[in-house]
Amino acid sequence: MKKYRVGILGATGTVGQRFIQLLQGHPQFEISALAASDRSAGKTYAEACAWKLTGVIPENVRDIEVTPIEPPIDCDIVFSSLPSSVARETEEAFARAGFPVISNSSSYRMDADVPLLIPEINADHLGLIDIQRQKRGFGKGFIVTNPNCAVVSFAPPLAALHRKFGIESVVVTTMQAISGAGYPGVSSMDITDNVLPYIAGEEPKVEIEAQKILGTFSDGSIQKADFDVSAQCFRVHVLDGHTASVRVDLRETATLEDVVAAMKTFPSLKLHSSPEVFIDVTEEPSRPQPRLDRDNGNGMTISVGRVFPDNVFDYRFVALSHNTVRGAAGSAILNAELLIDRGVI
Amino acid sequence: MKKYRVGILGATGTVGQRFIQLLQGHPQFEISALAASDRSAGKTYAEACAWKLTGVIPENVRDIEVTPIEPPIDCDIVFSSLPSSVARETEEAFARAGFPVISNSSSYRMDADVPLLIPEINADHLGLIDIQRQKRGFGKGFIVTNPNCAVVSFAPPLAALHRKFGIESVVVTTMQAISGAGYPGVSSMDITDNVLPYIAGEEPKVEIEAQKILGTFSDGSIQKADFDVSAQCFRVHVLDGHTASVRVDLRETATLEDVVAAMKTFPSLKLHSSPEVFIDVTEEPSRPQPRLDRDNGNGMTISVGRVFPDNVFDYRFVALSHNTVRGAAGSAILNAELLIDRGVI
Amino acid sequence: MKKYRVGILGATGTVGQRFIQLLQGHPQFEISALAASDRSAGKTYAEACAWKLTGVIPENVRDIEVTPIEPPIDCDIVFSSLPSSVARETEEAFARAGFPVISNSSSYRMDADVPLLIPEINADHLGLIDIQRQKRGFGKGFIVTNPNCAVVSFAPPLAALHRKFGIESVVVTTMQAISGAGYPGVSSMDITDNVLPYIAGEEPKVEIEAQKILGTFSDGSIQKADFDVSAQCFRVHVLDGHTASVRVDLRETATLEDVVAAMKTFPSLKLHSSPEVFIDVTEEPSRPQPRLDRDNGNGMTISVGRVFPDNVFDYRFVALSHNTVRGAAGSAILNAELLIDRGVI
Amino acid sequence: MKKYRVGILGATGTVGQRFIQLLQGHPQFEISALAASDRSAGKTYAEACAWKLTGVIPENVRDIEVTPIEPPIDCDIVFSSLPSSVARETEEAFARAGFPVISNSSSYRMDADVPLLIPEINADHLGLIDIQRQKRGFGKGFIVTNPNCAVVSFAPPLAALHRKFGIESVVVTTMQAISGAGYPGVSSMDITDNVLPYIAGEEPKVEIEAQKILGTFSDGSIQKADFDVSAQCFRVHVLDGHTASVRVDLRETATLEDVVAAMKTFPSLKLHSSPEVFIDVTEEPSRPQPRLDRDNGNGMTISVGRVFPDNVFDYRFVALSHNTVRGAAGSAILNAELLIDRGVI
């Protein structure tokens, strides 16, 4: 199989490192370029990067010379994990230079002509790419995005319910892992023996992204799903794995069995990084737990538990996903696999 | 001032230790009896107790001989922090033997003739005591209770809103401290780098206790407040301090300023353990936090923050209280102070 | 290849679970029997076990019926992770019944006729088995042991130095992970925001086991290595991975390069669970770290760093190993592989 | 009593905040000036400071306007908690401008004419001040320092032994709290489920400062104590409280009782911040522990436990002190009290 040569923007950061880790031994991709801030450019990756994942820097990237974050770089596909402060301008420059930009940044997620993808849910939103190319004059380049890491933890079970029963409203309280803030990110003085009730900018992102992801693509645009979302977002002392406490009102009546079945039977895809089970629903009373379940399906499965009727809403449940795999680098890689599978790349 | 002699049932446990700590230097109470399981009875408190609070066992209790948990014990007032498995029978025995039993256990909280007290909110529920004595043939003994530690964190701001605007429904997600499970309680293998989505029996307690606390006493019984409550309860890696993420629908229209003012102006009492401010509302975006705010008002103040309009409900906010002070021993002591102040003791 | 059928004593405990995890897909062993306390016996493993490792109970053991911990059980080889309170009597019974007992318990470690094995270091101590069989009248059964998990973290680099330069004395301070205490083990109330300066029975174990491991087998007995060992043992807030701070006085002069080379070149074996590198010495100033390095060599490599000349001793260094893999189940499995390789089984 | 007006350099940092907290209600000092980096200068303290200690910013400093860190500032005494990068030049400027500079920084600690004080141990080193003034032409200004926070945890018991029996050599392994690194300091990604084996620059500081503190002042200079010190320094997941694992060889023979008595009877002083007990020796096997014992004596007592004969050294023990109280701000305040008591200020 032909291997696509991929470049990573923001390669030394937390998500950049996760990209490198997840791409080890990938049958479709090989890493050919690593771009990072001017401070790192010119050094080898081993010199530039303070590796924070388990183990040491993989051999295949140790000696790659880090390049500045500007096009062109030596690759077929660009993965971007740039901070949102620089992502908007830089990702556009890469798209304009002809690169497929598969972004984990928040900059373009809510742009009307940019797909916000969870491949199992809304692969048809890829239809926006042609519109985007025309509107922005991008040539063969384009931008696709994956959602905020907190949204990913509960959007899949929501999609399962939305498709079968319709959704009236959703209330979610998230308990998010420290790795979501990158490195050095959250000070140990802030999170030890503590909960932080505030993550800058997070609650609005969670509230609006869900509606777009579950929206309908027709006539060249996304019609957002018309349910209300309320999100309160907390940081808790967990390394990886965002937990969401969810209540939902459905449009149609559904039994508990219907609800569980809708989640369990929501199909996964057949892409390389697709988990065997997309939504794993457990009846174990004390699951899901981030430390035990975040690696479910190599970090690509959404774990759901404690599905019960609720006193105020129709149902409640707890959902969990790995925030730097399914919620970041893994999602972007899955998006790239989807783009190849659908012939866009 | 005459000092009441108090006995503590379950004196060696986490809450028992907190009773002893909070009673140091108390102007109205002196500790005269410490009762604990048969394993401890006959030893001195210093021998029987694995002290887990900061510092060492206070001098005034070190040499007290621990007695079995059965009446009579040598005191005027009994504080009970017994596990619910034994509390029901034992507390009744003490009440029947003529002791005022001020209980932190869950056993009697929902009994129709037992006050479930937060003194600032429902001191008039003390009217149940006479009815209780008659019904149960208790003589001068009686039982009063304080709420579940998770309920205490959000019932006060709720009471403030209930009194002014009425409440239609409430949705709460709690993030509870490990000390709530006692000692040894939560295994470090379970909570390190983790969140537990299940606390046995907690969600129903939280859902029903709030309605009783905010209920109305008339014609010799409590009419429960008629709003719906939904609770999802989580254990997070925090030593002390339960955090609640709350949404609420009001019966009457209220502006954000109204809502904040209702909370801020809800009066504290003038009892010895009363905090100067009962509900402390902050506009600081990243507060309240358990580590920084649990000791607010010596652990007796409810800290509230992030009060905002909500997409699905009328309002949302975050509330926090110290679960072993305001949520347990401190509440019980405040109840005792109230009983003296109102002439019941 | 013929697969040996193995039974696990104490199968529901922390180390028992690790045995099951590490034996997944093992080419030489298949699990045929799981024994646990009377409380568990008769249930399926899935019913009896509160699984605490990442993920869920492996399919191949879910439905095995747990048997009581008494011989015979249906297997060729017995792995024992029994608590020391019951290990002595039970392991003897299994050995007497003809089973090779490969024990992680401390009960027999210091018995003169029982090998205390780190295969890379003292495989020749297997010569004790014949003596043991004769002395105890065991028939074909026997007992071999692996060291205390704290000893394993620093005995390998010590062995490297001992072999080349001789050792005069060793001072070690350990910082041990909570998983070393099993489950529920260390209360979260004890270890959160804390260090525990005491682990019951640990310091003497660490001090005496090192001398036996590095001892010489001749004339049918082990001559202990004649250096002094001082150990202070602490529990720190780490899930897995024991860290040891070590100072050592050598008998012969050695340069820093000599010391590092002795460690780096100490050979690994060619057994299935042998790591490629036995002792991995890093010059990275802030390594080894338990979270990043405990899985080095699938948890079977010893990671060493910060090797420097010392003001009081000749050299100092930091050593780290995975306490439930190399320090427990992984060591026992390696011992079994060694026994097969040497034809003892 | 006349109150001295004090200024704090580096007032917004972790130690600066601790100064403010410890000076609340101090009978001899009132805060009159707060100096911080240019970024903060001109703002009120409440605007400039991200308060990280329990509770909220004290009323008496909220509205003080932060000044730049250059002399003169409006005060009688200067407390400095400047980072060492700027401390050397700045502290000299303040001393030259006539201010007594009581510094927590490492810059001048090892200068031959600057006292490195633990008041209970070496108050006579104040004799260096006159020499310092002459040598540097300081006029009435001068600089005194307190030791590195890790040294403070074990230097007091060492001083007790040194004075009675003489010391040959000392080996110490420290387990240091995260607050020692300031704020934001240690990333939560680094310390969660982890131990860090390296603190930049710490080991040499610990090794040399102990010798100066226990040195002898005569003929206008300090003769360093002539024992060898070996230090390995680790960061562990503790908020406050440095723990030291210590072995010591004495020059004279001493029984265990002698050793314990020497520590227990080492006198405290009668200064305002002096603890009643300077060195608190416990026989409790599992103490001292940072969370339970760091506040011993309001954070000014050194807690010692696990004093035992050692296999390699004469004795071993565990020592603990509060690193931002006795190890930083509290020490500096005690130094100021000493300077007043001895008539230097």
* B214-256 per-position pLDDT tens digit: 999 999 999 999 999 999 999 999 999 999 999 999 999 999 9
pLDDT cut 90: percent of chain C above it: 97
List Cα–Cα distances, B126 to A121, A182, B131, B148, in angstroms.
56, 53, 10, 18
Give the A window 117-136 contacts with D, CB below 8 Å.
none
Structural tokens at position B267? 């009066």
Residue B217 near chain A (CB below 8 Å): no
CB A78 within 8 A of CB A66: no
Partner-chain contact C55 A192, CB within 8 Å: no
Let me know if D88 is exposed, middle or buried by CB neighbors in 10 A (0-12, 13-18, 19+): middle
Q: Place B2 in a pLDDT band, splitting at 50, 70 and 90.
A: confident
Name B78's bridge partners. Answer: B7, B101
The residue to which tokens 């890696």 are assigned: B237
Cα–Cα dist D50/D344, whole Å: 35
What are the pLDDT digits (tens) for B112-170? 999 999 999 999 999 999 999 999 999 999 999 999 999 999 999 999 999 999 999 99
For residue D73, give the DSSP letter: -
Residue A184 near chain D (CB below 8 Å): yes
What are the pLDDT digits (tens) for B246-294? 999 999 999 999 999 999 999 999 999 999 999 999 999 999 999 999 9
User: Sign of the CA dihedral D199, D200, D201, D203?
Assistant: positive
Q: What is the pLDDT of residue C2?
A: 82
Q: What is the pLDDT of residue C84?
A: 86
Name which of D52, D192, D295 is nearest B193 (Cβ-Cβ): D192
Judged against a pLDDT cut of 90, whether residue C282 lies above it is answered with yes
C75 as an active site residue: the answer is no
Q: What is the pLDDT of residue A2?
A: 82
Q: What does the pLDDT average to over C207-215? A: 96
Residues of B in contact with A306 (CB under 8 A): 197-198, 232
Name which of A179, A188, A239 is nearest D186 (Cβ-Cβ): A188
Residue A292 near chain C (CB below 8 Å): yes
| Element counts in chain B: helices (H) and strands (E) | 12, 13
**φ, ψ for residue B254 (rounded to 5)?**
-150, 140
Name which of C55, C292, C296 is nearest A296 (Cβ-Cβ): C55
Q: What is the pLDDT of residue C229?
A: 97
Amino acid code (one letter) for D307: V
Name which of A170, A228, A238 is nearest B195 (Cβ-Cβ): A238
Cα–Cα dist D191/C237, whole Å: 9
Chain B nearest-CA distance from C280, in A, is 27
Residues of C in contact with A193 (CB under 8 A): 192-193
Q: What domains can you pick out in chain C, each with its CATH number?
A: 4-148+328-341 (3.40.50.720), 151-322 (3.30.360.10)
Q: What is the pLDDT of residue B248?
A: 98
Judged against a pLDDT cut of 80, whether residue C1 lies above it is answered with no
Q: What is the pLDDT of residue B109?
A: 97
Residue B280 near chain D (CB below 8 Å): no
Name which of B53, B54, B295 is nearest D54 (Cβ-Cβ): B295
Residue A310 near chain C (CB below 8 Å): no
D75 as an active site residue: the answer is no
Q: Which of C125, C149, C162, C322 is catalytic?
A: C149
Residue A173 near chain B (CB below 8 Å): yes
pLDDT cut 90: percent of chain D above it: 97
Cis peptide before D288 (omega within 30 of 0): yes
Structural tokens at position D311? 């296999």
Q: Which region holds residue A206: left if phi is over 0, alpha if psi is between -120 and 50, else beta? A: alpha
Name which of B197, B232, B305 is nearest A197 (Cβ-Cβ): B305
Q: Which residue of B has its CA nearest to C188?
A: B188
Partner-chain contact A187 D187, CB within 8 Å: yes
Q: Give the residue among D210, D133, D118 at the shortest CA–CA distance from D167.
A: D210
Cα–Cα dist C248/C304, whole Å: 14
**φ, ψ for residue D13 (rounded to 5)?**
-80, 180
Chain A nearest-CA distance from B67, in A, is 35
Q: Place D231 in a pLDDT band, splitting at 50, 70 and 90.
A: very high
Across the A/C interface, how many CB contacts are shorter than 8 Å?
21
Average pLDDT over chain B, rounded to an integer: 97
The residue to which tokens 């500079």 are assigned: D101
Structural tokens at position C49? 């076990």
Q: What is the pLDDT of residue A191?
A: 98
Q: What is the pLDDT of residue D151?
A: 97
Q: What is the pLDDT of residue A84?
A: 86
Determine the angle formed by the axes of helices D84-96 and D128-136, rounding to 10 degrees. 80
What are the pLDDT digits (tens) for C21-55? 999 999 999 999 999 998 999 999 999 999 989 98
| The residue count for chain B | 345
Q: What is the pLDDT of residue D85?
A: 87
Partner-chain contact B179 C190, CB within 8 Å: no
Q: Which of A49, A75, A233, A242 is catalytic?
A: A242
Residues of B in contact with C186 (CB under 8 A): 187-189
Judged against a pLDDT cut of 80, whether residue D133 lies above it is answered with yes
Under-50 pLDDT residues of chain A? none
Q: What is the pLDDT of residue C344?
A: 96
Judged against a pLDDT cut of 80, whether residue C120 lies above it is answered with yes
What are the pLDDT digits (tens) for D2-14? 899 999 999 999 9
Residue D282 near chain C (CB below 8 Å): no
Neighbours of D155 (CB within 10 A): 30
Residues of C in contact with D229 (CB under 8 A): 311-312
Q: Which of A149, A162, A233, A322 is catalytic?
A: A149
Cα–Cα dist C26/C338, whole Å: 14
What are the pLDDT digits (tens) for D268-302? 999 999 999 999 999 999 999 999 999 999 999 99
Partner-chain contact C285 D310, CB within 8 Å: no
Q: Give the residue among A233, C251, D158, D40 at the shortest CA–CA distance from B286.
A: A233
Residues of B marked active site are found at: 149, 242
Structural tokens at position C176? 């041990």
Q: What is the pLDDT of residue D238?
A: 98
Partner-chain contact C295 A52, CB within 8 Å: no
Chains with 3 or more CB pairs under 8 A to chain B: A, C, D
Q: What is the pLDDT of residue B166?
A: 98
Q: Give the residue among B269, B289, B283, B282 at the shortest CA–CA distance from B331.
A: B269
Amino acid code (one letter) for D144: V
What are the pLDDT digits (tens) for C261-273? 999 999 999 999 9
Partner-chain contact D54 B291, CB within 8 Å: yes
Partner-chain contact B170 A312, CB within 8 Å: yes
Q: What is the pLDDT of residue A158?
A: 98
Q: Place D84 in a pLDDT band, splitting at 50, 70 and 90.
A: confident
Please tell me whether the interface predicted TM-score (ipTM) of this complex is above 0.85: yes
Partner-chain contact A54 C291, CB within 8 Å: yes
Please list, in sequence order, all residues whose beta carbon lies within 8 angstroms of the beta carbon of residue C323, skipping any fewer than 6 positions away: C149, C150, C152, C153, C176, C177, C179, C180, C240, C241, C242
Q: Name the helix (H) or strand (E) containing A309.
A: strand A302-309
Residues of B in contact with C239 (CB under 8 A): 189, 192-193
